[in-house]
Amino acid sequence: MSQVRTYEEVIYGWFDHFHQNPEVSWKEIETTKKIAAILDELQVSYKLFSDVTGLVAEIGQGEEVIAVRADIDALWQEVDGVMRANHSCGHDANISMVLGALIQLKDLPLKKRIRFIFQPAEETGGGAIEMVKHGVIDDVSYLFGVHLRPIEELPLGKVTPAIHHGAALFLNGTIHGVDAHGARPHQGKNAIDTIFAIGQMLKNIYLNPFEVYSAKLTKVVADGGSTNIIPGNASFSLDVRAQKNSVLDELQKRIEEGFKSINLMYGTEIQWEWIDKTPGAEVSEEAAHIAKASIIEALGIEHLEKPISTTGSDDFHYYTVLRPKLKAAMIGIGADLTPGLHHPKMTFNKEALITGAKVLTTTLRNAAKG
């Protein structure tokens, strides 16, 4: 760090390293080591876990604990024709902004402790749950998160004190029918017919039109091995989303009822497994108020944006689901991010890293006041 001249260059340097060295969920081994090395250099104590990646650092004194979470994993996706780990969701930015706040806060006289949670496996789900199991928020009163937002939600320079993420649910399924010759379809049970029925069933789910929700097929594999063989077997995946947890529960119920009806109609057997569920945001008014006041203090009221709702999801909200007394809010940072989160060529204005670190510093300092 002594070779870097400015605070901004330190943060940009960290971001460049994490961006160039992405690791997927539960395999963030080198990422964890790098964060630990940075904390060693900053002379900040931390705790590693024996069974999972990630780590937790802490500064300050006192009984009450304020916490901030940075997710550290990358996606596995195709980039320029090659499947590889890729930080297209901005977790490399989240790490850098949280570390940037740590630099500014570590030598201040704090009346409360501030805990920095570097969490694995947000993308595949389970990371937040594992951190709760490891007790990292048992004594936490306020928890803050941070995330860059797409340009259609927030432009560069605008910051929101609260992101109201939607709830999401994912499913893998299989269809078991009977193969048949293309000339004798009556002798088989066509898995593709069942797939089309599932697609239509999803479109025929009607809930309250004032609610935000969607359910769609995201993967279908059906191959009889030849163009003249009707496939009896297939596999598929669903992506199901809603802005409210109660609406997502109703969607799940309707989909399972639909599968049972389709089984009877086509004589096939649909088997399914719900593989991951990410709850919708439960935002604390108190936490959002602290973040709002801190945005105004750090940047000026002209940079404040109202809380935003997004159909995206984040396992950050498992913390409040599993610990209902926890007061939490995720801060959204405008970054002129295009074309969008999870796009393999996602890019953004790196000035947002400095903005995010500044807002986090002020938010955590204010939350940790006596």
**Angstrom distance (rounded) from CA 233 to CA 216:** 20
pLDDT average, residue stretch 71-84: 97
Q: State pTM to two decimals.
A: 0.86
DSSP state of 357: H
Pairwise CA distance, residues 7 & 10, whole Å: 5
Q: Per the annotation, does 176 bind a ligand?
A: no
| Range in 132-146, 147-161, 248-262, 274-288 the model is least confident about | 274-288
CATH fold for the domain made of 7-165+280-367: Aminopeptidase (3.40.630)
> For residue 311, what pLDDT is reported?
83
E-only strand ranges, 128-254? 140-150, 159-160, 163-165, 167-176, 180-181, 213-221, 229-230, 233-242
Q: Is 285 annotated as a binding residue?
A: no
The answer to whether 91 is a known ligand-binding residue is yes
Indicate if the pLDDT at residue 248 is higher than 80. yes
328-342 per-position pLDDT tens digit: 999 999 999 999 999
- Whether 276 and 203 have beta carbons less than 8 Å apart is answered as no
89 annotated to a ligand binding site? yes
How high does pLDDT run on average in the chain? 96
How far, in Å, CA of 358 to CA of 349, rounded?
16
DSSP secondary structure letter of residue 6: S
Confidence of residue 1 (pLDDT cuts 50, 70, 90): very low
Gap between the Cα atoms of 142 and 8, Å rounded: 27
Q: In the chain, where are the structural domains located?
A: 7-165+280-367, 167-278
Q: Which residues contact 85 (CB under 8 A, 6 or more apart)?
A: 22, 23, 24, 74, 75, 76
Residue 19 main-chain phi, psi, to 5 deg: -65, -35
Which two structure tokens, joined as six digits, stand for 230?
A: 């009707």
Tell me 155's DSSP state. -
pLDDT in tens, 294-310: 999 999 999 999 999 99
* pLDDT value at residue 326: 98
CA distance linking residue 201 with residue 199, whole number of Å: 5
Q: Give the model's pLDDT for residue 312.
A: 86
Q: Is 181 assigned to a binding site?
A: no
Least confident range of 64-73, 120-129, 286-295, 326-335: 120-129
Backbone φ and ψ for 198, nearest 5 degrees, come out as: -65, -45
State mean pLDDT over 227-255.
96
Fold of 167-278: Alpha-Beta Plaits (3.30.70)
